[in-house]
Chain A
């Protein structure tokens, strides 16, 4: 009975892992990059210069700019610069149509000069963040697919734990240079050692999309009016309507300080001003998401904009909202400082590696049978091609995205769309290439190309912008320098992988077959 159960779980692990492995690899890798979303955006829009953060100055600059350029707007939004995201972003909306998403005008200001920055059009890190859960598909299909993938990931994790018999005995075991054995060791090691992260990230993603995954409780209490549920969970700030009499808006800085006192020294993330030119103007100050592990679904302090009277302080969140918020916060890691953020990044890479090694093992195990003849059946060849394109091909696509950012002319129409398209074109081409080349050759060539593209990124950055490693290190612009150095390291890693792959191909025939036989007997 016990063995039967374990075998059933192993079967589920194998096939769930294979079918969704390619997609999960992309979701994990882009999600990992999204931990450095702001830093990537900073690199991709180098025109937005980093300055030491000074909220008083930034706020005065933003208010001044908006008063000059959008005095009659219905709403203003001001997002303050952070050490991670140097841009002072202002946004306004001329007219509010209830029920419709009005057209916003957004500008990024330089917090020192007060001028709008003419930054190149680019999605920046936002692209990876969006792709991570929307998969570049129209709403809501991408979300459904990624939620489904998360569910499968959860199943694969649980079945993986059950299948892995010697989870504690093998806890410290990794035996390199032993072919299939090493892949399995590696798969188990990154799986088991980083298991808390894997479980947290997968479970929390289901919590984040819980209204899609488990709508029954909402339907049961709210009927078909799911809006009512969201209105209760995320109470919108009910601000007084405009009276139609002109008024003068107070300086925002004192209100900012007052809000900060309410939060015992917490940070302000953004501000919204309703009817800025009206006597009934109101100012909502929102708390920054980086303040606590538990994600805050809108801690707000509201003021009357002309008298400065404190109107409302949002209450403490309820327990369910606190629990939901902690999963949300843990998943997104907004609270993480630089060190913890890097640890998040490494954990994400470990997750990606776990999925990648799993895919390689699936194929490796089945290829053994056909090692002698050298002819692979169609289904194995298909898996091989998809393995290559989904892993090394994705690396090439990511590097191409960064290259496009530097090489496409700044004035090009629909520039940011073209950046995204070059990502998918490169990915598509890598699929074609993988289909045309023999297995190992395909791996070696794509990994080498990926290595070359990544290693050259600091170089191309130096050639096309004035923000090369020398200047970014001198001016302590860590995001810019860190990006270049990380690309360099990533390129070196890919180069090492290509070299290993090449050497394995040369050594392969006899030794591998003997080892494979031994492994087969062991793995049963």
Chain B
């Protein structure tokens, strides 16, 4: 049975076209009777603790070992691809315009705001290298990295997959993503590289050889792998 969820707080009913609806009270509608938490875009949310995230990651590691990173990435990819369609619907409804006729940065900020409101962290997108076929995304307060703490290796495979999936659908071209710097490596924020498979494979190789995010940025910007 499918239950149609609909966000019907007084804020939304009074002002359905309000765009700055990401404050906690505006964004979520808690219904204690049905036990649901519905966000502004009528999507159902669940609250989880850090223990849940640890359980998810460690449980997966126990089940599939080293393949857990690839599994999380794949889950992220599917999530991102599905979310691209979901986003397209609510964006066009809220802004009365096609996604394709919108300023790209504005579009991306709008996409990520739901994630920010849901606790996935703030982000910063650097489109400066887009014409060269790659871009960088910084994530501050990654829910996964913040939970696991300093474990000496990148852990945000779910995010990398999410970006790969979403951007692949957005630009209709197969893209991959790799986390090249992580809060869980003792850095202050996480950094992701998004681009074609060849570039991501190269970055992965350089990373294994001990390169830092800065080294990778330099190598890509200097035109290696054009």
Q: Do A and B bind each other?
A: no
B residues bordering A, Cβ < 8 Å?
none
A residues bordering B, Cβ < 8 Å?
none
